[in-house]
Structure 1
């Protein structure tokens, strides 16, 4: 944050002002690129603010907003439950929930005043000081939302602030006063001047210059490439942002333009993006480097240039897990993509399709359409996202012979589209269709297929021919999480197994575990469902041969000898994630000596252990994420010993119905930042040692009245144990756990 410290203090003061009991709206207004969202995040995460409100929600609105999706987002963040996912039911549920406490809701990137008029009814005013923050480019939106409160109109940075922000990005972690060589000072001045004080332009340009040699010639070329002075509200900002894009090699330009295929402000899974890049052939091969590693390197490069934002990272911050793109940069994506005929977007039925180039590489359809008037036979990617039916594509898919990517999400088909059979160049096929029952035998004809994703609650059979595709790298048959959903029958892979397979998820246990699994030696991620006792020996034997496995999960397992599974990994160094949802017939976890020592994430559910699992788990030196849920431990006492859990970052304890006492000894969990305790009817007292744990966030869900009374702010007997925690969120007591 450069230049907005005073503004941030003013907004924080407005939020925590106890003299203003009205529900009021605070608007942050400014042109695109002024980093309104960055400022708002700093305010939202401020310790004083976190302690002043009980409920929090952050939703992104954007130009193409959908009120139902916005309400779902708010409902999810404040844990409001409704009988149906309709605008009316969600509005009532949210309003009812928000009446129960002081809330802070952020509506980020509002373009239209109609949004506020449609959402106004869900934000009750019960004179408790609740607040709504709106970020917008338009002053009229702010004035309509709250005519009585003066908006915070952000300014562009002055010359001194602009120079500081620019140099911080050119010379990170260096002294701003001395970092820039004297002979480059004039060029730095010219570059800063042409950004017009716009923070986003200064950061992107600074990151670009940081990749250049510190020579006059190199910096002179950057100055020369800039066409002119920044013009507020015009296209000049995009020209500055495009400098970094123009500096990329061809393949990285394609990777960046692919962000235009996603909705503005959408959080995008990094692995999904990389699989799509791979299928499109964007990623150049490198010796001794996997395609996935190349893809993550591309993401890292884009993030370092500040052309994308990493919103969630792996446990060791080494890789991006989720990413998004700034709306101005999304505009740049769309502009460049259409200019180069990289993509076309069907937004709705009102678009004039006559003006389309009909020659773009990618076609994106965001809404249901009646007909598809698109004739490019060389189309390479078709992404039909959130469409209700495939009727518009019927009889037309077969003409796109060069398709390498085909993705349908939100379709209601019950049969696999037969036209896909002729698309033998497909490398990526994704189909989310709840009524789908069978994957046909001709799936094996798609011999180039790398990624195959099917999500259906009715899937009964996947043809064995799928496993004859030698190029398969990623297969996900995971069902939607619904009670009536069922898994497809176990696969029969035979002898021609896809040896390049790296991810296999949602596959039902069967004889293939002993016959075929040992041959899948390139597997890095494995998820099996419906594992029974008679599979245990074969599974244990097979797992020992998968020395590249980094993630393993069992869903709905029954009475599995855990020793067999754990010891299978005891000598493996790659396993980082272990998810076991099984019913066990034993009292305790295996000894720490046979546990895989490099585990970073562990999730245990339905175990029924009688001996405290912490005694073993706390000795895992690399463990950062731990979840114990649904009666995984049936004992009365749990102890976290001194110096235990040295790296633990996040801990969830949920539905341990018999737990009465929890002890945390001195110096235990020295890195714990997030703690969630849920559905613990017999746990009445927080551990004394919690007062020394450096928590950032404590979440309490459906705890007993006695427990909640003891942690009441300032007056509760246990308040002193958690008064240092900046963010404490509470979901009210449920009737079945009442003391």
Structure 2
């Protein structure tokens, strides 16, 4: 929510000013104390009394948001005036203005605090009355209606059969069967179909269904189960019993009987912890089936993932749509093409298919009308779904802890169907300032935890994982993204101007986060209006867009986040001005600057970049040109991530008397640094470096640039490219003292030309190394024989373009944890080590364009493991077409790729 995000951000601003070695302004400490106390109080209030979805709550939180934004404006405007004016003095007229303006804001916030105290007092009185007045309601108004078999289901037959086998299986002990998945994916429908099967009804002595709401009441749940399980019980006979007595009665009712309890829509493990004592286990085959939106809840319940619901594919989506529209009747052929398009647009979510199916089933069945539906599907889903689809999905949002709400809403800033890089998402969350710090964790770790929580709640899906298993990218379903956009607009969290939303342009000058996607730009009147509106956005803090026109930066003087994916038009067109610098560096409050340039543009960094006193992330993408950083970059202590295609980083300036020494304690990422000199003075300035990518194209006679890598004690990922140079003498100077820190988890080498024995001695002993990528010419020699006990933690190994390699040995003694092996372009490799197959953790072997004998050895490994019933190992081989053999001993090939290459799957 916007109010919570704004409060946390002001705390960040205060902290950054106070901890900065050379702060741009000075705040009155009494005012800081008052402001901090009020903000902490309001944050506690929002965390304890979450948003209930009412308009009154929106309005009140809007007031908190607005007064907090006023505090931001006062402080950040003063910072801009001071830095642009060339003064950091804390005295004078500007200082008095800051004191007076901030004092007024504190008064306004204190007034809201008093209102909050009144609200909390009333809330406590109401909560005291609730148990006696409202804890029990008549059955007709509170009970879940009995499930029926009239639930349409497509594509779930396999999982339905598996669940039924689990329910009626021979295992006698009581089992918990969780079914997890995002809201609207069909968990309840599946459970109801199982529940209503005659074989299930006959198999169990007692069947009971109860819906667990997020605001659960244990007494009501017990009452509901009893009323469903005992046909002779009435609400009147049970309404006066306490929770303890109801639990005891339920336990006695279930004792000695084989029962099935379905607990639908469970939101927390605490519910189970309070109820589990009332479900006896007599080893008679009793079962408890639970549906939940939280994947991690399954693990808490049974120690594994349980049943996970997946989105439907296009064919199953179309079949489900047909069932909702036509029932058992066949569909008219003229509607098939457009109908499949409609089904595909629903992106596999059964709930959205149900909503659209209900609409189409009541409408005229003509291609013209269905085409209209297809063109306006998103709008129609939102309109028709107000009471059902979006209402159900919005429950997931309303139930989110308040600290996760800004993170979830922020997913709406990304374009529809985008494969969202987690690294970018995390950096943006940090820069936006709505992550509340957690002790002993950096903000990036907090962000990753929050992302995992959202994934566990099935609000975000994992799209790709990296070689180490970490999440590389994620996606959000279109309907959930629509929910983000709707809530964000309601809470004034961010603005996404759209062509058919002219009202947004009228208020764009008051928006604090503006997102413009490339699809919005055009050459019509709307685009001109949008461009004009952006130039007037004087309070905007975040601008994420494709720049298809010149936007004067000085109109966005308070900007904190600037992401430009297309800077062709942003920079002046004359050849002598193909740089950015002066204008960009006037945006002194920037925390996040990420720009993408086209060919022939040279992003130039000047000494004035140190004016960006609070810059955290600097990302410049474009062609392969070299960018030279000024020495002033070492005077930017807030830097966390610096990424360029090629960046020359000068040595830190010498320490001068009476000038502060800036240690970049927050700096975690440097990429890609050209001819990086990792001297002692550099190591001292970057003590918490985690990710480092370096490229060496020149060499000198001292090895100081690489022998200090081992002193970067927090380094987790190192990528070293040493080029491909024939002058081995110069090459050896650089690599002679190459050492690595024990903290490394990922190492990529290229052009290092290390002997295999030397590589093993330098790398094999790293205790935490999980990913090793040996790219072209990283190692030399025909044979590699790792010692026993090396590579003890390695999970992923890639070897490519190491042309000399012919033989190597590998087994569980030197690669005990290996999970993935990738071999590419190894022309002389005779075979894959036979001992590889004996590694118990190994899951995949991939050969890409190696010789035929290596392919045959991979096939033998696959056959041997199959004989040993190791069905988890997957072997994949890809060969150039001209290398295919046709001898009897050759492998049988399955063609699955293009004309040039063949893919072999074993």
Same fold (TM over 0.5): yes
- Measured against aligned partners, the alpha-carbon deviations of 1:651-681 in whole angstroms (never above 9, x if no partner) come to 2121121222233346553433322111111
Q: For the residues of structure 2 that align with 1:466 and 1:595, how far apart are their CA atoms? A: 26
Distance 2:662 2:724 in 1: 27
Q: CA offsets, 1:413-459, max 9 Å, x none?
A: 43216443332221111111142241233322222212111123234
* Of 685, 688, 691, the match for 1:522: 688
For residues 178-199 of structure 1, the C-alpha deviation after alignment (integer angstroms, 9 at most, x for no partner) is: xx97862566899xxxxxxxxx
Which of 481, 486, 497 pairs up with 1:330? 481
Between the aligned partners of 1:383 and 1:428, the Cα distance in structure 2 is 11
- Which structure: greater strand fraction? 1
After superposition, residues 539-578 of structure 1 pair within 5 angstroms as 539=705, 543=709, 546-556=712-722
For 1:625 and 1:3, locate their aligned partners in 2 and report how far apart those are by CA, in whole Å: 41
- 1:394 and 2:551 aligned: yes
Counterparts of 1:450-529 in structure 2, within 5 Å, are: 450-456=616-622, 457-479=624-646, 487-488=647-648, 490=650, 493-495=653-655, 496-497=661-662, 499-502=664-667, 503-509=669-675, 513-529=679-695
Q: CA deviation at 1:603?
A: 2.4
Pairing 1:131-150 to 2, within 5 Å after superposition? none
- Which consecutive residues of structure 1, in runs of 5 or more, have no partner in the other structure? 11-30, 39-153, 171-179, 191-201, 217-229, 480-486, 563-581
Cα deviation, residue 299, structure 1: 2.2
- Is 1:381 paired with 2:381? no
2:865 is the counterpart of 1:700: no
Q: Which residue of structure 2 aligns with residue 405 of structure 1?
A: 561
Deviation at 1:301, TM superposition (A): 2.9
1:273, 1:33 → 2: CA distance?
23
Q: Spell out, residue by residue over 1:176-232, the C-alpha distance to the aligned partner (whole angstroms, 9 max, x if none).
A: xxxx97862566899xxxxxxxxxxx99953x344669669xxxxxxxxxxxxx995
TM-score by length of 2: 0.50
Partner SS for 1:307: coil
TM-score by length of 1: 0.60
**1:495-537: CA deviations, max 9, x gaps?**
4545234132223336684544423333333333327553754
Q: For the residues of structure 2 that align with 1:493 and 1:586, how far apart are their CA atoms?
A: 24
2:784 to 632, 638, 643: 638
What is the correspondence of 1:582-601 to structure 2 with a 5 Å cutoff? 583-584=731-732, 596-601=741-746
Aligned: 1:534 with 2:571: no
Alignment correspondent of 2:334 = none
Structure 2: any 5+ residue segments left out of the alignment?
1-152, 162-180, 197-206, 228-261, 276-350, 356-384, 572-577, 656-660, 887-906
Note closer, same or farther for the CA distance 1:522–1:664 as it changes in structure 2 (3 Å cut).
Answer: closer
Match of 2:863 among 720, 724, 727: 720
Structure 1 660/278 Cα, relative in aligned 2: closer, same or farther at 3 Å? closer
Q: Select the residue among 747, 750, 767 that pairs with 1:602.
A: 747
| CA 700–523 in structure 1, closer or farther in 2 if over 3 Å, else same | closer
Alpha-carbon distance between aligned partners in 2 of 1:720 and 1:623, rounded to the nearest angstrom? 30
Deviation of the 1:383 alpha carbon: 0.7
1:117-147: CA deviation from partner (whole Å, max 9, x where unpaired) = xxxxxxxxxxxxxxxxxxxxxxxxxxxxxxx
Are the structure 2 counterparts of residues 605 and 734 from structure 1 closer, same or farther at C-alpha, using a change threshold of 3 Å? Answer: farther
Q: Does 1:259 align with 2:423?
A: no
- For the residue of structure 2 that corresponds to 1:410, the secondary structure is coil
Alignment CA distance shift 1:366-1:643 (3 Å): same
1:392 counterpart SS class: coil
**1:683–1:315 CA distance, 2 compared to 1 (3 A):** closer
Aligned to 1:623: 769
1:237 deviates by 3.0
- Give the secondary structure class of the aligned counterpart of 2:588: coil
Q: How many residues align?
A: 529
Q: CA deviation at 1:254?
A: 1.4
Distance across 1 between alignment mates of 2:683 and 2:213: 49
- In 2, the alpha carbon distance for the partners of 1:583 and 1:736 equals 35
Q: Does the 8 A contact of 1:296 with 1:320 survive in 2? A: no
Match of 2:457 among 288, 305, 314: 305
For the residues of structure 2 that align with 1:669 and 1:686, how far apart are their CA atoms?
14
Q: Is the 8 A contact 2:687 2:714 kept in 1?
A: yes
Distance in structure 1 (CA, Å) of the matches to 2:441 and 2:269: 26
User: RMSD of aligned C-alpha atoms?
Assistant: 4.8
Alignment of 1:263-278 (within 5 A): 263-278=415-430
Q: Secondary structure at the match of 1:300?
A: helix
